[in-house]
Structure 1
Amino acid sequence: MAQASAETEDACPRIGLAEGVLTLHDAVARMLCLNPRVRLARAGVMAEVAALGQARSAYLPRLSATFRRLDDVTAIDAADRSTSNRTRGESSALSLTWRLLDPGGRDANIDAAADLLAAALSSRDATVLQVTGAGIQAYFDVQAAHAALEAHRANREVAHATLASVERKQGAGAAAEADRLQAITAQARAELEVSRAQGALAQARAVLATWTSLPPQLPFMLPALAAPESPQVPALDPVLSHARLLHPAVAAARLKESAARAQVDAARAEGRPTLDLVAAEYRNGRPDQSLSTAPSRERQMAVVLTVPLFEGFERSYRIRAAQAVVEQREAQAQEESQKMLAEIVQAHAALAAAGDTLRASGVLFESAGASHASALRRFRAGAADLREVLNTQQTLDDARLQRVRSVTEWHAASLRLAAAAGNLGPELLRN
């Protein structure tokens, strides 16, 4: 088992250790290669391929052969004498059965198997989308945690600069000890936030390493996310129309419904007459007869018409059961469609909100940066007190965090909408 697991992992894409960067495309590729749900879906496809071949084999003849060898010794012990009789012989039989005509049962079974195979393929694609969506969230959690850590480090540098300014002013006799203590407190708070951000990043990296089956201790970096110049939210109606037609989960549910309808046709066909060709050749007797000592050869060929007359209403109940399955599959297809549309509407609303937040965070960050720079200049010139500097510094810290979070949320929401609509291709993962 360990060897098989190692071989499976070796077949999966490896990250570029020389660069030490794990791209989103490579991370998703590893998730899909090693995830047990995806492997289960792929195995389901192979099972349906075999089922389709089995259904098609009903059009082929059935040929069988039997061979017997007999060595029979009979001994009779009497009072006056003993006798024995020994018989040796061989027999063989070759039989052929070929269904020539049926009222659509084989075609219905083939149609059902083909629909189930197509449904398995769509289910596999839906599973890929689900796993990809969850993996993308883990990936962006790491990026968000890393961006937050960088923001807290930048805030720490600002706190260091503020403390240095206060100490210079105190050395010149222009600042009180209370100002220095306030600056030290702000610096300690910044150090604490950096420590917390490092812990959050370590946790997020551990989750991503689990998803991608990478060693937790393996050092890797994620590419930085750039803020889009002009975030655009696609119109909702075209996204919904595309998903209704092509979403794999909805397609799988509809194909299962179609397969259930074909099973109803197959159940009805079982009660209709069938025509079979039967041919056989026997040497030295038939398999159900005793072996003949004299050589013999027998050939026969027949056309057999089978007409089902009465089976205790079993077929009627089987048809009703198949019709009930059709109703179940129809309800499941409707439920899957409603679920998919609800997920798309929610993802679209989340993307629109992320776009608004992204634009607002950009304005907030620029304004907070300018306000803090102005307060720091006036503090150095003696025109502002330390409380104003610390207040603008805290506002800048919050604005920087909001900015990096909004950038991450925008990219994650964009890919979540694509996954919900069933339109998540490799080109999106590379962007």
Structure 2
Amino acid sequence: MRLPMHSPGRRCGLALVVVIGALGGCADLPVPVRAPYAAAPRSFSTPWSPPPGVTTQRPRTLAGPETQIDPQTLYGLADLIDFAHRTNPETRRAWEEARAAAAQAARAEAAYYPTLFAMANGGTSRETHAAPGGTFTTEGPGVNPQLQLNWILLDFGRRHASVERGGQELLRANFAFNRKLQEVAFAVAKTYFGLDASRARVSAASASLESATAVEEAVDARLQRGLATQPDILLARQERARAAYEVQDALGSVNDAQAALAESLGIPPTGLMRTADLSVVPLPSELAESVEQIIDRAFARRPDLASRLAAVRAREADERRARAEFRPRLSFSGAVGQAVQRYRVGPPSGTFTTNETEYGAFLNFEWRLFDGFERENALREATSVRGVAEADLAALELKAIREVWKAYADVKTALRKHEYALALLTASEEAYASTLESYRSAGLATVLDLLAAQRDLARARTTQIQSRAELLTTSAALTFAAGD
């Protein structure tokens, strides 16, 4: 009598289940196997239309409700930088990369531990065997659970090199994260100073509009007394129209600066917070350190240099791992299991049952003697990659020196320019006031003199605003270049 599970109906049913399962697993594939072009654009001249749900079923990527903005609070530079560190996706990306590097380093350390597998196979079989008197068959179900252990005992530095590489990659990612925080802080400072300069430009343009209006009124008053001509009043109106245009242009630059600040913060421009005015913030008056001292501090403190140095150390570990591949490997392997089977043998038919413990323990020695020079070329590759990393570090050091040198020179220039811009503004204000008074009272100044003085005053205001913003921005750039 045959076992029920060997009946043709049962076999057909099992095969049907397997086929249905395979087809069910393929039902959700995004590309039709028989017509893959149906998932691509229909023509090279028409846009592709995404299927329903593709553009709407996406995760939220902007700052969530955990980063609330207080509408009653004035955010200063330190507040904006702290906010950006929590909302800018670049900091989140660098943080996740550092966490991934930490997990990768821990994975490398797992090589020092044994690995344990639990395995089992079960099913039924029917086999035919040849014998002196003919053939006989064995058939029946069986199961064989098993535990297997593998443990590398000695590998002559392979694992140590991998662990060291993972540790150096972790240092690289951690220092890169610190540098990303500095980059975000510098971007926020730069855009914040730009926004403040744009607002100051609006104030200066409004003051210029008031001056142009005063000039127009003065010319009109002289025109009523017969002391001015029609071209004089037209020139004054032209200057007032130009000043009004400058006001609108300045307002547009404020919108652009707000969008740039919002981008550096990691939020949309529609959700930008109220920011404090920088007009009362004291400006740096001198450089306390020499450029050589700042360069030395940059070499000691810049995280990107430390990150690049860690990358060199990681490549050195890769080179040591490649050298270790020339040495043998000693490992231990063992297994224990249980063979359980019930089977029939015949003819003549007889039923038997086995339930036996199986085990084995082995020391394995492995030494690759020849592999087509693969290891030699791998070592050459690792040596060259290490050389590339060292060259990258040297290039970054030169770049750091250039950045510090340029930022230092820019700050020195900005200090002098701001000093002269203040003197220019004072002189322009006095010249405009004197010219306006002379035109109104004595008539010694012409309308052209008055319009020229008014334009010079407007340019002096703009120059002072630009010099202040340049001094703040270059000071922030020097701090960033020094790694502070």
Judge same fold: TM > 0.5, yes or no.
yes
How far is 1:296 from its partner?
Answer: 1.7
Question: How far apart are the structure 2 equivalents of 1:253 and 1:149?
Answer: 44
2:331 is aligned with what amino acid?
D
Question: How far apart are the structure 1 equivalents of 2:284 and 2:327?
Answer: 67
Residues 365, 399 of structure 1: 8 Å contact kept: yes
Aligned counterpart in structure 1 of residue 300 of structure 2, from 227, 245, 249:
245
How far is 1:116 from its partner?
Answer: 0.8
Question: How far apart are the structure 1 equivalents of 2:254 and 2:178?
Answer: 31
Question: How far apart are the structure 1 equivalents of 2:177 and 2:286?
Answer: 30
TM-superposition CA deviations, 1:328-356 (whole Å, max 9, x none): 11111111111122122112111111111
TM-superposition CA deviations, 1:384-415 (whole Å, max 9, x none): 32333322222211111111111111111111
TM-superposition CA deviations, 1:159-196 (whole Å, max 9, x none): 22222233334445554444433322222221122122
Give TM-score scaled by structure 1 length. Answer: 0.85
How far is 1:117 from its partner?
Answer: 1.0
How far is 1:251 from its partner?
Answer: 1.4
Give TM-score scaled by structure 2 length. Answer: 0.76
Aligned counterpart in structure 1 of residue 261 of structure 2, from 203, 208, 216:
208
Residues 16, 22 of structure 1: 8 Å contact kept: no
Relative to structure 1, the CA distance from residue 198 to residue 4 in structure 2 (aligned partners, 3 Å threshold; closer, same or farther) is same
- More deviation, 384-393/217-226: 217-226
Aligned counterpart in structure 1 of residue 472 of structure 2, from 398, 411, 416:
411
Q: Does the alignment pair 1:42 with 2:102?
A: no
- More deviation, 363-372/213-222: 213-222
Q: Provide the residue aligned with 1:347 in structure 2.
A: 407
Q: Provide the residue aligned with 1:400 in structure 2.
A: 461
Question: How far apart are the structure 1 equivalents of 2:148 and 2:391?
Answer: 47
Q: Does the alignment pair 1:264 with 2:319?
A: yes
How far is 1:279 from its partner?
Answer: 2.5
- Structure 1 segment 51-130 matched on structure 2, within 5 A: 51-72=104-125, 87-130=140-183
Residues 186, 477 of structure 2: 8 Å contact kept: yes
Question: How far apart are the structure 2 equivalents of 1:218 and 1:309?
Answer: 66
Relative to structure 1, the CA distance from residue 274 to residue 355 in structure 2 (aligned partners, 3 Å threshold; closer, same or farther) is same
Question: How far apart are the structure 1 equivalents of 2:336 and 2:360?
Answer: 6
Residues 184, 264 of structure 2: 8 Å contact kept: no
Aligned counterpart in structure 2 of residue 17 of structure 1, from 46, 68, 71:
71
Q: Provide the residue aligned with 1:157 in structure 2.
A: 210
2:424 is aligned with what amino acid?
L
Q: Secondary structure at the match of 1:300?
A: strand
Residues 146, 201 of structure 1: 8 Å contact kept: yes
How far is 1:311 from its partner?
Answer: 2.7
Residues 112, 262 of structure 1: 8 Å contact kept: yes
- Matched-pair identity in %: 26
Question: How far apart are the structure 1 equivalents of 2:56 and 2:465?
Answer: 42
Aligned counterpart in structure 2 of residue 231 of structure 1, from 277, 280, 285:
285
Q: Provide the residue aligned with 1:428 in structure 2.
A: none
How far is 1:230 from its partner?
Answer: 5.1
Residues 152, 397 of structure 1: 8 Å contact kept: yes
Q: Secondary structure at the match of 2:363?
A: strand
TM-superposition CA deviations, 1:2-24 (whole Å, max 9, x none): 787547511663433234x4543
Question: How far apart are the structure 1 equivalents of 2:86 and 2:214?
Answer: 48
Relative to structure 1, the CA distance from residue 312 to residue 225 in structure 2 (aligned partners, 3 Å threshold; closer, same or farther) is same
Q: Does the alignment pair 1:299 with 2:359?
A: yes
Q: Provide the residue aligned with 1:78 in structure 2.
A: none
Residues 115, 150 of structure 2: 8 Å contact kept: yes
Q: Provide the residue aligned with 2:368 in structure 1.
A: 308
Question: How far apart are the structure 1 equivalents of 2:234 and 2:62?
Answer: 59
How far is 1:153 from its partner?
Answer: 0.4
Residues 87, 293 of structure 1: 8 Å contact kept: no
2:154 is aligned with what amino acid?
L
Higher RCO (Cα < 8 Å, 6 or more apart): 1
Residues 13, 26 of structure 1: 8 Å contact kept: no
Relative to structure 1, the CA distance from residue 125 to residue 361 in structure 2 (aligned partners, 3 Å threshold; closer, same or farther) is same
Q: Provide the residue aligned with 1:195 in structure 2.
A: 248
TM-superposition CA deviations, 1:81-100 (whole Å, max 9, x none): xx997533332221212222
Question: How far apart are the structure 2 equivalents of 1:89 and 1:410?
Answer: 83
Q: Secondary structure at the match of 1:10?
A: coil
Question: How far apart are the structure 2 equivalents of 1:125 and 1:179?
Answer: 62
Q: Which runs of 5+ in 2 are unaligned?
A: 1-54, 129-135, 342-351
1:103 is aligned with what amino acid?
F
Relative to structure 1, the CA distance from residue 220 to residue 154 in structure 2 (aligned partners, 3 Å threshold; closer, same or farther) is farther
Question: How far apart are the structure 2 equivalents of 1:224 and 1:41?
Answer: 31
- Quote the RMSD (CA, aligned, Å): 3.0
Relative to structure 1, the CA distance from residue 351 to residue 262 in structure 2 (aligned partners, 3 Å threshold; closer, same or farther) is same
Q: Secondary structure at the match of 2:442?
A: coil
2:328 is aligned with what amino acid?
P
Q: Secondary structure at the match of 1:294?
A: strand
- More deviation, 155-164/358-367: 155-164
Q: Provide the residue aligned with 1:255 in structure 2.
A: 310
Question: How far apart are the structure 2 equivalents of 1:373 and 1:99?
Answer: 89
Q: Provide the residue aligned with 1:289 in structure 2.
A: none
1:304 is aligned with what amino acid?
N
- More deviation, 242-251/386-395: 386-395
2:356 is aligned with what amino acid?
S
How far is 1:215 from its partner?
Answer: 4.0
Q: Does the alignment pair 1:356 with 2:416?
A: yes
TM-superposition CA deviations, 1:196-255 (whole Å, max 9, x none): 222232333333334445444457554322363552224211211111122122111111
